[in-house]
Structure 1
Amino acid sequence: MNSSIDSTFFNDYVYFTITRAYSSISKEDRIAAKNIQQAILLRKKYLNFSDGSEVYPPHYHLSNQVNNDHYSLLKMSDGVFQIIQNNKAIMSIVQYKQYLIDYKTLLNLCESSIVKNFAEQRLNELSRKFKLHCLLNSRKSKSQTSVEDIHTISKIDTHIHAAACMTESQLLKFLKEKNKSSKSEFVGYYTMDSGEKELETLEHMCKRLGVNLEEFTLNQLGVRAGIEFFNRFDVFNASYKIAGEDLLRTVFLKSENYMHGKYFAELIHNVFDTLNGTPTHLELRLSIYGRSLDEWEKLAEWIDMWDLRHPQNKWMIQFPRIFHVCKGNKEEYTFETYMNNLFKPLFDASLYPEKYPQLAEFLSTVSGFDSVDDESALEQTVGNLPSAGEWKSKENPPYFYYMYYTYANIASLNYYRKQRGMNTFDFRPHCGESGHIHHLAAAYLTAKGINHGIRLEASPALQYLYYLSQIGLAVSPLSNHNLFLEYEKSPFNDFFMRGLNVSLSSDDPLQFHRTQTPLMEEYAIAQQTWNYVTGDMAEIAYNSVLQSGFTEEEKESMLGENYHNFNEKNSNKTRLTLIRKNYRDTSLKLERDYIEILSDENKMKESHIFANIPYSIIDVVYPENGMEEEIDVIRKLEFWLNVREKYLSYCAKLRTTRNSFFHPNAQTTEVIALNQGIFNVYNEEAICENDHYHLAEIYCQECGKRFCIKCYKKTHKGIYHSLLQLNCKPTFDIIDDEQFFWDYKALKKFCQSGPARTFCFRQMHVRSELFQLYHLLNEKSEDIEQTALKTDFEQITKVDTHVHANRSFHPTDLLEIIQKKLEKEPTRVVRKELELNGKTYYDITLQQLFDLLGVKQFNIHSLNVQSDPSLVSRFDLWLNKYYPFGQLKLKELFLTINNDIHGEYLCELLKSTVFERLKVLETIKTEYRFNCSGMELNEMEEWANQIVKSGLIEPNNNSYIICIPRIYSRWKEEGYINNFSEFLRNIFKPCFEATLHPEQHPNLAKFLSNCGAFDCASEELLHEEEIEPRNIIRPDEWDMNENPPYEYYLYYLYANITVLNGFRKEKKLNTFDFRPHCGQAGDRMHGAAAFLTANSITHGVMIDGQNTLQYLYILAQIGISSSPIQQAALYGGVVDPFRKMFERGMRICLSTDTPLHTHITKEPLTEEYSSAMKNFQLTQTDLAEIARNSVIISSFPQEYKEKWIGKDYKLPGIAGNDSSKTSIPDMRLEFRQRIIDNEIRTFEKWLKNSNNIIREKADFN
């Protein structure tokens, strides 16, 4: 950067540094770097003459006077012109034979797998670094960008063909105008029936061709690109014919015709008129074909005749690669002859400008040469082909052949013209639009810049070389879209992010554009497609000026004086921010230094780029002060993290044992009572003596009994007794429902605020990019360290944290037990009563049941429990897959516990399949979910009895989770319950009773001791009404059939679990986490309710769509049990955010959910990891980190977690990693902790400095 910039200018920006470990560099990296360096030197050889001068020097405004030359002679040698002075050539050019050697050398370098892999890594790193830079400085860069937009800054369309520079609307308008004004104008000769030729007017020609210009439409014009253009260059070329008529093209779009190209000139003038008063410039292309020596003079005469000059246009001359057409059947016509036709007139006009004044004048307005044709044509890509003088074949020479001879003649011409004080020419061929990537290698050696270049995406090595050399690429995505590559697949944005010198150009507006400003149309569509900001567009426009052949003086008028030393004045002129320009310049210098240092081992030891450290480190350096808006967001984030902490830790014990109110001398007894849907522990006198579970609130003196309000009203209707208001205090205090709903509402508002979303979006994406950079820099180091560890993925503990017990097995397991039972006990009574088709059956045997249901075929297909594409986004159909053979009755028999055989079949199935496999798969643990539906009070006790009886308590391998379906409305409609309070009673009363009196409920108490959490599950897509904190309908009053909303369920479940945990903790029993289903679909704000109430969640997919909430989850390290295979089966159109969340540092793990429906193998968790490894491109270290997360998220007791992942697992960073148990390299967790520590330090610094500023302002006032 220019030293005139104040050194403090960049203090308010965020930057990052990378210190690379020596150990991260391999021998192959050094070999690749040496090869890259060799390729760079090869290009320098072609772009510089032996005296050090440039083959393509900058263009300068020159005086009309040129240096005299009366001694030079012109000589062609083997297809290349040379200027002879004093009997020798004035300069030497790389010979054709040497070119072939260099070309093959370059191809071999670029095809080397070592070089390709190295280049791919470098390009990926460049992309990541740019994304990180943009994220870190998005707000500041925006504030530094002028309010003026892309329309006001200079930009150049460096690739546009004159014959198609107008749009179809402009051409149609011109045709109609000529039809009105020039009908009688002679436009050419036509051949009559007699064979004689006669002049004809425009009107006559149109009638003869059957063209009615007066009623002509765009569709009839026939030039617009269509689907038939794709991969059909021949069809594209034919589109230049107006209305399919070549004669109309000749009259209107060619310079050589009877009218001397009048109409074509007028059309170009019309385009020139659109440039006036705009910052847009052009480099229009005209063709020289090489058919004859007089083409140049004719073209120059046409330019002069119609005064086709404009200060905002430079001419580019394109040479179509049509040697074979020019040769025809001429026996002695060689490629040297072809080169002679192309270049001799140029040398003649340079040697003797006074003899060729028109051509000499025209050449002063030409900025360069192009080479054009269909690149997809089959050709020889390499070989020892004959030189130009010997090429007599009718076959067209290959691309690389054209490149050399065009380059060599331009180089010779430029050297001489520069010597005489004349302008010089660039060489910017069409290249890499289609065809073989070898074209790009030829252009790399010979060209200053290229047009298109999209095939660089297929060659990492060449793409990297184009970046290091900053070779200009004028890309035309709209043209490519119609001819060779769909817009969404265009690599333009990848090139731009990586720092290649790319610009946008229009190519052929006549075929591809609809607006009257085609270049702006290119910018607009690119902006919409890739979400470019003004700074991005400004950089692309800046590149277009650099690539162009306009003079340095003209470029300074566009970019500002001394633009090579970019400063604030240049920034104001171009809208390209200093921070962006500084980043690009610094990145390029670092990359070039990196290659140079890597090529020389001695330089590595002296370099600041490398250090003797265990792994490469990325340091993000933030400014001392944050922006006021950001600081406000940080304060609120801190507030909500504290609120969550309050919810998870708050369960105060309000009272100690006290004497009874009615019997002060009696010993008190603890009882459980329900008040507004929440159980709590009270003294015995607090229980309603009528229903024996509600909280007593009234004492009736006449009855001598305590009543809850509901029972009192029911028993005292029309009766008036003396009453005493009771105020029974609960043992445990919790956050009340009104407070929760206010907090939930406020949290939603914060999550939806613009500043919070913007800040959190940036922070999360910064984390993603940092992880990707870390991975690119340290993948090899991680592999080496992990290989040295004693454990591998197979040996580390993994917990399936989300799997439903009754769908945890393979379909063949279910089919086998069905067939086994039918074979061994067909006469067993499995159902006491069955209503079917209006008829009631009693004492139905197993065989009778299958007969009545019409199930006769027994195979996996007829079992019909596996998912298929028809289930996507259809939760209703998904539920039907629970039914074996499509029969609900068989689900009730084989997949539930609450049936007439007390779940014997399901327990046997679990015992003989998944529990047996757990004994073999020692490092896989499970957390099987059983549903407690809330339909009946004794439901949980019944299935606890069966689970214990069946020997399904194996605490070393499995911890149960009680899953509560959100199906209150179903039981209410069917008359099982009267209100939501009874739904909660049926779930939690047994838990409290087994805690209070374990001796009365031994099996349930035992089950609860092997239970780690509660879940809450159901479809989340259903519409829900929001709860208003001022008008809460409490559970006792919620007696309508409608299901309560998600947050309502979560609060009352959370409240009951919190009290239950407090009670169990007091009794030194295990406690429970709350881990609800959340964010699989539906309202994203479900995650806000879970943020306040849950320890962790399952699924969490929808949280990805809410930036603030997701960032809060990351900061709070709330676990997410993700099930990508199940998610894809149920919501196939949704892109799973697992990879993003993992990169950002979310505590996320893999789980299986429903293997019965979704998994292929009988090792579903391993299958889940294998699938994720492939789909999310995870490394072995990634898998190990995810496995460690699964243990932490799980609800297994702490002593098990310490056994599986280390006794200090709760400590941050390396201190919490026992790599011998986790197989995670220390460097991974150190990196994770560095990110966290850096964020916290920055936030604390900003908050502190902000407070200091506030105090200073207060003192000043």
Structure 2
Amino acid sequence: MLRRPQPAASDVPESRQAPWDCDFLREQAYVLLICGALCGSSDNYVLKWGSPEDGLMPGIPSETNLAASPARVLPTAPQAATESYRELLAGEGDKSLANQYMSMLSSEPFKAISMKSAVRNAAVDLLGSYADLSSLWALAFLSMQWGAAEMPRQFPKLNISEVDEQVRLLAEKVFAKVLREEDSKDALSLFTVPEDCPIGQKEAKERELQKELAEQKSLETAKRKKSFKMIRSQSLSLQMPTQQDWKGPPTASPAISPATPVLPGATPLPVPAPYAVPEFQRVTISGDYCAGITVEDYEQAAKSLAKALMIREKYARLAYHRFPRTTAQYLGHRRLDTTPLEEGLPDFHPPPLPEEDPYCLENAPPNLGYLVRMQGGILYVYDSKKMLERQEPHSLPYPDLETYTVDMSHILALITDGPTKTYCHRRLNFLESKFSLHEMLNEMSEFKELKSNPHRDFYNVRKVDTHIHAAACMNQKHLLRFIKHTYQTEPDRTVAEKRGRKITLRQVFDSLHMDPYDLTVDSLDVHAGRQTFHRFDKFNSKYNPVGASELRDLYLKTENYLGGEYFARMVKEVARELEESKYQYSEPRLSIYGRSPEEWPGLARWFIQNKVYSPHMRWVIQVPRIYDIFRLKKLLPSFGKMLENIFLPLFEATINPQDHRELHLFLKYVTGFDSVDDESKHSDHMFSDKSPSPDVWTSEQNPPYSYYLYYMYANIMVLNNLRRERGLSTFLFRPHCGEAGSITHLVSAFLTADNISHGLLLKKSPVLQYLYYLAQIPIAMSPLSNNSLFLEYSKNPLREFLHKGLHVSLSTDDPMQFHYTKEALMEEYAIAAQVWKLSTCDLCEIARNSVLQSGLSHQEKQKFLGQNYYKEGPEGNDIRKTNVAQIRMAFRYETLCNELSFLSDAMKSEEITALTN
């Protein structure tokens, strides 16, 4: 649980102190409720928050006049509040109202608050003193919404001392086993599970059996198990929907459904009437739901998973990344009736209208004149030179490395925890088996639903290639044809300059001793084959046609003598093919290396001068993790300089767009950042709060993967908040992750990334795989690419992930290296459908996922998926546009709600225990 941040005076000035985190706001709302119960709604009072030293919440007036008299002082510290409330007690009061109030306290939004027992007990003691409680609920919610809406967003800081020592040591052990090149099997054994058994050893099984037998004899455990069963039976009874739950006019009374998280002692939350779902057969489990796992293990696993999801939610919302609304509801952080449905959606720039010029440099926002300086690898924004001298940064959330390492330690410790591994392994097996049963029972019903859907089929649903590199976006035949065409039409054109001597295209090929007429796809040698398997170095060489770096520089680069003209022409030809197909979209990656701050203006100039914009393309910037190469060549003094070259131009274009018109325009069509390179490269450095800052990382050693991800996320988070403040589009962080290397990469991405590419190593960690499922983190998978590099096609986990309900999409990665046809994305779908026998509904579900994962704008997604695409479950699916059966959507949503309810049930039991003790 997060604590109130206490920034040092030297770090954050008094005028810009960080507001309390959401948990402290809930505590304040809790205190308001208690004070209201004491005073009564007929009693008028004043809330005096005191001074900043006493716990003032910044952004709230020090004296809030709720009415004229009488005045009562509300201490803000919960401990002090407890004593003051006891002194204010008077009268006997109505015990029935006390019971009603207690019911309120145990329901949303306070069901998941980890309140101090003294405060909670004081609340229970104080109930029943005053008559009218009608306005208290609104008062508490007003305080929460007021604080969240008006106060500036800040990064909640934690102190390393707050981490349990055992957790910290366990996290360090995980890192050490990976980084010290110990036997790979032993290193992975901390967090992997054999496929055929969750524990795998006879002794461990016997210990678990003895533990379960001892538990059955324990009276206390029996009581707790009975409590769990009662909670679970209530959850299940209210989760099982009838057909009316998914039907009915918008004016109908809200029905209890899986979309409505059930809270103890509370009325179910209202749900808007969704689209109709046909009748279908559901799979339900009755009896002892803890069978095979002890109550203690279940409780420990559920609470640990919930905590991990809360950590993920914190980082996602701070960076304007996506977090599932349903998951947030079950964690107790959101309500349907108070949170806008569009909240948390990424802010992408809509495409220009047909009559608008996509390259218009006018209408840029005015300059602000802010100053930007890098400190510890993170860019800080200052309102003026005076503020810079006083070290008072602009009010934005600036990340804290110590807090990040604390949170990462919790996740690392979680993936090594035995009970949690067993629990997650069982739940994942259940999810896969449940889908098999659903498919057996409802496959024909889904197919019947699709057959009755007019006009729409797999071929004319929108699909997005969510992971593709621009330098390889064309197939090998396309590249060969273009090379031959340029040689035939302009052989004497000057295309390069070397040592002051201009070189023509004919001279380039003469120096390579070849005639383009004789070239074939085989001699071009850009296609990956068996020789590239587990050889990333050989794969990288495939970017050089005929093995010549001169041809790569000429045809596949944006910076060359021609200004990247040939590359732009090929990209536009690929874009035209997408536009002709009408239903396919692409998100190509362009490289920014961080060698120089001039890379960004050059890339923007290439985009505008060559008119590369296409309505079927959105751009992602990839940053290769090759600092060590630049440092070795003396191109960079430190890693901090590389970060500055990557992000400082973006901050300057955001603050002063009038001075950077071309870059400001280009950023409208950029939707995210990627981190790329060979993940299997070993690093000897263990990333922690003791790691050297980027400013002093001057060695020739490459920083580890987690180091790259943290500092990229940190700067993207600050940049997104600054751009959101200015009303500009924001960016998603979408790194390559989990293709090879250490499984700790997936831990870093769980905290920092909106979505990832590949994710193969999730198969090795049941805890992380289950967390990625619960958080519905998008995964762009490329089975054909993996087949040539790291994993045979038949062993690819995409089908398994899809069946379990992970949010997967298909992508091409590098068509030039892996594909043969002109429509590479359709080639991916066709091969997957044939190898894994995917149904039409499966394919359309993957296609719908790809649109949701993509950087297409809100308006485009509404057009392609339906007006309510951002809602979860069947009500967010328009079968007329997606061709995904409503039966499938209902099954997915009910299954997710069921899994989340296990976590919320564990939290409910803790709340009930705390109130009854």
- TM-score under structure 2 normalisation? 0.63
Q: Does 1:152 align with 2:460?
A: yes
Write the letter of the residue equivalent to 1:58: P
CA distance in 2, matches of 1:56, 1:330: 42
Where does 1:265-344 land on structure 2 (aligned, <5 Å)?
265-277=568-580, 278-328=582-632, 330=634, 333-344=637-648
User: More strand by proportion, 1 or 2?
Assistant: 1
Q: 1:296-323 CA deviation, whole Å, 9 max, x = no partner?
A: 0001101111001001100000000111
Task: Say whether 1:212 aligns with 2:515.
Answer: yes
Whole-angstrom CA distance in 1 between matches of 2:249 and 2:843: 26
Paired residues for 1:992-1031 under 5 Å: none
SS at match of 1:163: helix
Larger radius of gyration: 1
Return the letter of the residue paired with 2:820: R
Alpha carbons of structure 1 residues 65 and 37: separation in structure 2 relative to 1, 3 Å: farther
Check if 1:240 corresponds to 2:540: no
Question: 2:430 maps to what in 1?
Answer: 125
Q: Kindly provide the CA deviation profile for residues 1018-1062 of structure 1, in whole angstroms up to 9, marking residues without a partner as x.
A: xxxxxxxxxxxxxxxxxxxxxxxxxxxxxxxxxxxxxxxxxxxxx
Please name the residue that 1:407 is paired with: 713
Quickly say closer, same or farther: Cα 1:526–1:251, change in 2 above 3 A: same
**Residue in structure 2 matched with residue 362 of structure 1 by the alignment:** 666
Q: Give 1:97's aligned residue.
A: 402
Equivalent residues of 2:274, 2:875 under 8 A apart: no
Q: Name the aligned partner's letter for residue 215 of structure 1.
A: D
Deviations along 1:1069-1124, whole A, 9 cap, x unmatched?
xxxxxxxxxxxxxxxxxxxxxxxxxxxxxxxxxxxxxxxxxxxxxxxxxxxxxxxx
Conserved 8 A contact 2:819-2:827: yes
For 2:345 and 2:275, the matched residues in 1 are separated by 36
Percent sequence identity over aligned pairs: 39
| Structure 2 residue 445 is the aligned partner of structure 1 residue 140 | yes
Instruction: Find out whether 1:435 has 2:741 as its counterpart.
Output: yes
Counterpart residue identity of residue 504, structure 1: L
Matched residue type, 1:344 = L
C-alpha displacement of 1:330:
4.3
Where does residue 18 of structure 1 map in the other structure? 285
Structure 1 counterpart of 2:9: none
Contact 1:318–1:369 (CA<8 Å) still a contact in 2?
Answer: yes
Q: 1:327, CA displacement in angstroms?
A: 2.0
Give distance in 2, aligned partners of 1:53 and 1:173. 42
Instruction: Work out which of the residue numbers 405, 410, 419 in structure 2 matches 1:114.
Output: 419
Secondary structure in 1 matching 2:372: strand
- Per the alignment, residue 890 of structure 2 pairs with 582
- In the other structure, the counterpart of 2:788 is 482
Q: Note the 1:440-589 alignment, pairs <5 A.
A: 440-565=746-871, 566-567=874-875, 570-589=878-897
State the partner residue of 1:228. 531
The question of whether the paired residues in 1 share the 8 Å contact of 2:492 and 2:506 is answered with yes
Structure 2 counterpart of 1:1081 = none
Pick the aligned partner of 1:398 from 695, 699, 704. Answer: 704
In structure 1, C-alpha distance between the alignment counterparts of 2:500 and 2:368, rounded to whole Å: 48
- The alignment partner of 2:435 has SS state of helix
Q: Find 2:675's aligned residue among 360, 371, 376.
A: 371
What displacement does 1:332 show?
A: 7.9
Distance 1:8 1:249 in 2: 52
CA contact (8 A) 2:870 2:876 kept: no
Within 5 A, what are the aligned runs for 1:935-1014? none
**Superposed displacement of residue 106, structure 1:** 1.0
Q: 1:4 to 1:398 in 2, by over 3 A?
A: farther
**Matching residue of 2:157:** none
Instruction: State the shift of 1:105 in Å.
Output: 2.0
In structure 1, the partner of 2:130 is none
Q: Taking structure 1 as reference, are residues 75 and 176 closer, same or farther at Cα in structure 2, changes over 3 Å only?
A: same
Partner of 2:653: 349
Residues in 2 aligned to 1:108 and 1:257: alpha-carbon distance in whole angstroms: 49
Q: Secondary structure at the match of 1:199?
A: strand
Note if contact 1:290-1:338 (Cα within 8 Å) is conserved in structure 2: yes
CA distance in 2, matches of 1:492, 1:7: 30
* Residues 490-523 of structure 1, C-alpha deviations (whole Å, 9 max, x = no match): 0111111111110000000000001110001110
Alignment of 1:1136-1215 (within 5 A): none
Q: Deviations over 1:38-88 (max 9, x none)?
A: 111111221123999999742244698566553533222211112234633
Q: CA deviation at 1:605?
A: 10
Q: 2:484 aligns with which of 176, 181, 186?
A: 176
Distance (whole Å) between structure 2 residues aligned to residue 540 and residue 99 of structure 1: 33
Q: Relative CO higher for 1 or 2, CA cutoff 8 Å, sep ≥ 6?
A: 2
Deviation of the 1:16 alpha carbon: 2.3
1:104 offset after TM fit, Å? 2.0
Classify 1:327/1:440 alpha carbon distance in 2 versus 1 (closer, same or farther; 3 Å).
same
Q: 1:301 to 1:50 in 2, by over 3 A?
A: closer
Amino acid at match of 2:439: C
Q: Name the structure 1 match of 2:8.
A: none
| Separation in 2, partners of 1:418, 1:585 | 31
Give the CA deviation at 1:172.
1.0
Which residue matches 2:377? 79
String of CA shifts for 1:600-646, please: whole Å, max 9, x gaps.
4257999xxxxxxxxxxxxxxxxxxxxxxxxxxxxxxxxxxxxxxxx
2:104: which partner in 1? Answer: none
Q: How far does residue 189 in structure 1 lie from its aligned partner after superposition? A: 2.4
2:301 counterpart letter in structure 1: A
Q: Give 3-state SS (helix, strand or coil) of 2:703's partner.
A: coil
Aligned to 1:45: 314
Residue 35 (1) aligns with residue 304 (2) = yes
Check the 8 A contact 1:504/1:544 in 2, yes or no: yes
Runs of at least 5 residues in structure 2 that lack an aligned partner in the other structure: 1-245, 251-272, 324-342, 353-361
Answer whether contact 2:536 2:789 (CA < 8 A) is retained: yes
Query: Is the contact between residue 653 and residue 663 of structure 2 (CA under 8 Å) also seen in structure 1?
Result: yes
Contact kept, 8 Å, 1:56 with 1:426, in 2: the verdict is no
Question: What pairs up with 1:656-675 in 2 under 5 angstroms?
Answer: none
SS of residue in 2 equivalent to 1:15: coil
How far does residue 291 in structure 1 lie from its aligned partner after superposition?
0.4
Structure 1 residues 569 and 109: CA distance shift in structure 2, 3 A: closer
Note if contact 1:59-1:550 (Cα within 8 Å) is conserved in structure 2.
no
Q: 1:302 to 1:23 in 2, by over 3 A?
A: closer
Q: CA deviation at 1:431?
A: 0.3
For 2:656, give the aligned amino acid.
Y
Q: 1:131 Cα deviation (Å)?
A: 1.4
Question: How many residues in Structure 1 have an aligned counterpart in Structure 2?
Answer: 601
- 2:470 aligned residue: 162
- What TM-score does the superposition give when structure 1 sets the normalisation length? 0.46
Root mean square deviation, CA, Å: 2.5
C-alpha contact (below 8 Å) 1:96/1:387 kept by paired residues: no
* Counterpart residue number, 1:905: none
Q: CA deviation at 1:17?
A: 2.1
AA partner of residue 256 (structure 1): E
Shift of the 489–306 alpha-carbon distance from structure 1 to 2, 3 Å rule, reads same
What's the counterpart of residue 722 of structure 1? none
- Give the match's secondary structure for 1:89: coil
1:313 counterpart SS class: coil
Give the unaligned 5+ runs of structure 1: 191-195, 607-1261
Deviation of 1:22 (Å):
5.5
1:94: how far off? Answer: 2.9
2:909 pairs with 576, 601, 605, which one? 601
Show the counterpart of 1:1070.
none
Change (3 A) 1:372 1:521: same
Letter in 2 for 1:77: Q
Q: Which amino acid aligns with 1:315?
A: W
Whole-angstrom distance in 2 between the partners of 1:331 and 1:9: 61
- What is the CA distance between 1:466 and its match in structure 2? 0.6
> Could you list the per-position Cα deviations for residues 359-382 of structure 1 after superposition, in whole angstroms to 9, with x for gaps in the alignment?
110000001000001000011454
Q: What is residue 58 of structure 1 aligned with on the other side?
A: 346
